[in-house]
Amino acid sequence: MKHFITLLLLLVTFAAVAQTTPETTDVQQATMERFAAVQTIQSNFTQEKHLSLLTAPVISKGTFAFTKTPSRLRWENTEPFQNGFLLLENETFRLEKGLKKPIKHAMASQVATQMKMWLTFDLAALSKAHTLDFFDGGVRLTPKKENGIFTEITVWFSKQNPQALEKIRLNETNGDYTLLTFTNTKINEPISEENF
Amino acid sequence: MNFSAITTQFVSWWKRLKQSKGLLGAGLVFITALCCVTFWAFVQPQDSLHILIPGSVREQMELFEKSPFNQKVFVVVTSQKDTDLLAHAHMVQNYLTQQGLIRPGFNPAPDFALTLLHALPFRFLPTDREPVLEKITQEAVAASTQENYERITSLEGVLLRPLIQADPFHLLEIMTRKLAAFNPQTNLDYRDGFLTTGKGNTLVGLYDLARPARFNNAQRFSEAIKQLNAQLPEGMEVFYLGGLRYTAENVSLIQHDLRYVSLLGIICLILVFCLLLRSAHALFIYALPLLILPVAALGTYAVFGNISGITLGFGSVVAGLSVDYGIYLFFAIVHGNLPATLAAQKLRRHIGCTFLTSSLCFVALFLSSVEVFRQIAVFALLGLTAALLIALFILPLYWENLSTKKRTLSAATEASLLQSPILAGLLSAVIIAFGIWGFYHTRLSSDLETMNASSPLLQKQKSVLDDVFTEAETKNAFIFVKGRTIEEALENNERISLSLPVPLATAEMIPSEKGRESRLKQWKDFWSRERIEDAQELLQQSAVRVGFSPKAFDPFFEWLDNPESQSLFDFTKIYNPVIALEDGSFAVVNFVPNTPQVQEIATDANVVYVTAPELKNGLMQSMKKETLRIALLAFLFNLVAVTVVFNSFRKALLAFIPVGLAICFTFGCFALFKVEVNLFALVFLPLLMGLGIDYGIFQLEKSETAVMQLYPPVALVAAGLSTLAGFGVLIVAKHPVLHMMGLASCVGVGSAMLVSLLILPPILERTK
């Protein structure tokens, strides 16, 4: 059967991401270790979209849950629309009105994986493609290469719990931005299996 | 100078040369050394699949082997536990890329969806009109606009904004459908560039090799995989499969086998020498192959312009046959109490007939459509001719002082022969019955895999991949559409595609130049000014209603006005279905559902339609036919030749008794010991015939001659044992092909020798 695989989609083999070893500062190292210790996250979020192609900013609300082992993430908007996505180990699902729909499309799956990197603040992965500029209470991430999407990502750590995030602001190239605010965040607390 | 003068000149030159044995020997060594140096300096053995395949399936096999996915290496990451398989599969991919073992695959940038959309105008077919019209109805536009709003306001909308603005009507779906047509009928999923099944515990990456699939690169690949396995968590495993893995397994196993087989062969030859020959003069016999093989190799290269490693490996068989001539002569001198040159003269008919029968077997082999068989035939004919000349004309010069003392062992061997023709007849009947039973019960393996060296580990790993791909193999087929140029092949591909129930994915995604121009024109005709304005109005109404700004979808309409403005993506960077063929033409490789309807259309259109199981079966059938044809021709040629030489059809049949009984005995043993016979056992059949007839001729000559001492049984024993020492020792090899050749020669040659010694003499005595 070794002869028989023709699919084009499968031949979409992703090239290796350049593996550079960034200089690791003490702050970065400490932050990395702090977030590496996060095993589970549960949180509510509010998302503000300020987009030029919309007539008005849009505010959405929802819930977010993550477990490191096994690797699972659920991001679900509850209002105004009920949608989101679910990453389970090696599978990706779209959430539509509470229902799980598998995503086979490589690109959609890639988008979801990208989201996971931000939401779990995977600093090791993020630092490969971004330069990090730590400030009091947060960090600014600037893409090393222009990607046509973001100019800057700013992350604010929670004052109550240094292992949690308070806000993420994603600045886009055309001046648009998205602001995520996390509330009622619980770190390393057991998460019900029903979430996944 | 006329022919007579040349002959006279040659005879005179030969007489002078015979006076100086030292000069003659030095001349022979010089010629051999010259051939060796020339060979190693200028000849690179080549082994392409082309030379191994019978003519009837060569085209299909060549196309199949050249198909793009067949050149790939399969890297499989599998896990029994619920671990992060995908991340590890990416790690494996990165490591192999960094090590320079695989080529980085196509990396779809985040804007690839946009690129895909912008490729649509150049792939727009009449069949796409209806789906597009359905997307620009009032209801459809309302639904897609609402969906776009939900997507843009979701978190991932950040990444999707450019696409949403460029594709308000979701026309990308038409392109993804075209792209998905590459997907064969399987149970496979695609996840981040990897193949997987529903179970999800196996991810398979298909990669192009960064270096040629040679043994040293296969070793590097194996080493990298070993290191990766050490880094993976417990319960997870990575391995690779494909031609490269088979190269690694085959070559390392053959190297291992040859070390042990050579050692064992040398020990066996020393034993034969010490037991039966015991004379320094006899060392010339074993020097004979060293003299003839370089000449044969160079001659074969001169005839074909290339030479296969398999042909060179076959030298051991030719060596075994050539040694026989020297052995017969040696024992004729020793036992016949005759001067060497006289013994050589008396043995001319016997050795000449032996040469003739062996040569005719190779002539039959030469008539095959398999090039490697033809190479082997020329190699053997050249080698045997050289061996014959050396044995009859040169060896006697060096054996003038050979001791003529009779050996005690040969006397003992002679005394042990069967004396009763009835017993010999009965034994023959038992062997024939055994053979008939064997023919019906021997298991012939039609699996080409049985000819590959595959360790239990490889078998186990292959079964993992088979689980993933079995369905793909059975439900799908290849269609190869040819053309003199790439453009012609692509145009022909588009023509065939139109006649199929489902268009060919390659024709949809990788059109010819003409095809691209024609499709762009159809796209422009479709998007008339009036249709654009209608769509714009519909979209505007819906967009404003849900909350989009009025100019949100301007990028789409700008693109409609000028579709050529977007840079064109070359889809062959992801997958190039066009292959270059040996004859300078090209073929487009398509993977299609294997249905009778598709097969019928493809056959009518005169394109090559291939399924893997049918191809395997076809290959096996043609090899069987080819081998049986060769065996039959060899039988007929030899029957005629021996009849002519002995001037008797009856005697010719008698000479065939050893080979006939040996074949029966061999098949009986295969069935009795449940040996699964692969193709190479069949290939051995004509060879066995050549050797077996030689032993029969030996006994026939003996029964006719007045000087029986010229044909001592020990000569036949020494000839048979030398062949077994050189060739039969392959039985200890682990490689299935070498093992099968060794097994067949041990049983076949051994039994032919025993039949000649024990059964044939009383029958010949009886029929006198």
Exposure on the CB side of residue A49, measured as CA atoms within 13 A:
25
Q: For residue B247, what are its two tokens?
A: 């190269």
Tens digits of residue pLDDT in A93-109: 888 877 887 775 555 56
- Overall pTM > 0.90: no
Contacts of B79 in chain A (CB under 8 A): none
- Structure confidence at residue B751 (pLDDT): 93
Q: List all residues 6 or more positions away from B287 whose beta carbon is below 8 Å from its beta carbon.
A: none
Is the pLDDT reported for residue B197 higher than 70?
no
Determine the 3-state secondary structure of A72 from DSSP: strand
Among A residues 146-165, those touching chain B with beta carbons less than 8 Å apart: 147-150
Please report the domains of chain A, with CATH numbers, ordered by start residue.
Answer: 25-190 (2.50.20.10)
Instruction: Read off φ and ψ for residue B625, nearest 5 degrees.
Output: -60, -45
* pLDDT > 90 fraction of chain B, expressed in percent and rounded: 31
Is the pLDDT reported for residue B335 higher than 60?
yes
B576 touches chain A (CB under 8 A): no
Nearest CB to B158 within list A6, A91, A149: A149
Query: How would you classify the pairing of strands B443-444 and B676-677?
Result: parallel
* Helices (runs of H) and strands (runs of E) counted in chain B: 34, 11
Is the pLDDT reported for residue B567 higher than 70?
no
The alpha carbon of B22 is separated from its chain's Cα centroid by a whole number of angstroms, namely 46
Residue length of chain B: 768
Q: For residue B1, what are its two tokens?
A: 């100078």
Residue length of chain A: 196
Identity of the highest mean pLDDT range in B59-63, B414-418, B429-433:
B429-433
R_g of chain B computed on alpha carbons: 35
**Which of B164, B134, B127 shows the shortest CA–CA distance to B535?**
B134
The residue among B708 and A133 whose pLDDT is bigger is A133
A91 touches chain B (CB under 8 A): yes
A60 touches chain B (CB under 8 A): yes
* pLDDT > 70 fraction of chain B, expressed in percent and rounded: 91
Contact flag B108-A107 (C-beta cutoff 8 Å)? yes
Contacts of A6 in chain B (CB under 8 A): 67-69, 182, 184, 476, 575, 589, 591
A183 touches chain B (CB under 8 A): no
Contact flag A2-B509 (C-beta cutoff 8 Å)? no
What confidence category does residue B53 fall into, taking pLDDT thresholds of 50, 70 and 90?
confident
Average confidence score pLDDT of chain B: 84
- Using CA atoms, how far residue B381 sits from B296, B310, B328, B532, in Å, is 8, 16, 19, 78
Q: What is the mean pLDDT of residues B151-159?
A: 82
Neighbours of B287 (CB within 10 A): 18
Instruction: Judge whether B72 and B245 are in contact, CB under 8 Å.
Output: no
Is the pLDDT reported for residue A2 higher than 50?
no
Nearest CB to B105 within list A15, A148, A149: A15
The residue among A55 and B252 whose pLDDT is bigger is A55
Residue in chain A lying closest to B476 (CA): A4
* Burial (Cβ within 10 Å: 0-12, 13-18, ≥19) of residue B606: exposed
* Residue type for position B226: K
Tens digits of residue pLDDT in B361-408: 999 989 988 888 899 899 999 999 999 999 998 888 888 877 655 544
Instruction: Read off φ and ψ for residue B381, nearest 5 degrees.
Output: -60, -40
In angstroms, the CA B206 to CA B73 distance is 6
Contacts of B82 in chain A (CB under 8 A): 70, 89
In angstroms, the CA B157 to CA B148 distance is 9
Instruction: Judge whether B490 and B483 are in contact, CB under 8 Å.
Output: yes
Contacts of B116 in chain A (CB under 8 A): none
Query: What angle, rounded to 10 degrees, do the helices at B529-546 and B554-561 form?
Result: 170
* Burial (Cβ within 10 Å: 0-12, 13-18, ≥19) of residue B603: exposed
B165 touches chain A (CB under 8 A): yes
In angstroms, the CA A160 to CA B597 distance is 69
* pLDDT > 90 fraction of chain A, expressed in percent and rounded: 18
Nearest CB to B159 within list A53, A105, A111: A111
* Helices (runs of H) and strands (runs of E) counted in chain A: 4, 11
- Structure confidence at residue B47 (pLDDT): 62
Determine the 3-state secondary structure of B272 from DSSP: helix
Fold of the CATH domain B254-405+419-452+621-767: Multidrug efflux transporter AcrB transmembrane fold (1.20.1640)
* Residue type for position B567: S
- Domains of chain B, by residue range, sit at 254-405+419-452+621-767
Secondary structure string (H, E, C) spanning B38-100: HHHHHCCCCCCHHHHCCHHHHHHHHHHHHCHHHHEEEEEEEECCCCCHHHHHHHHHHHHHHCC
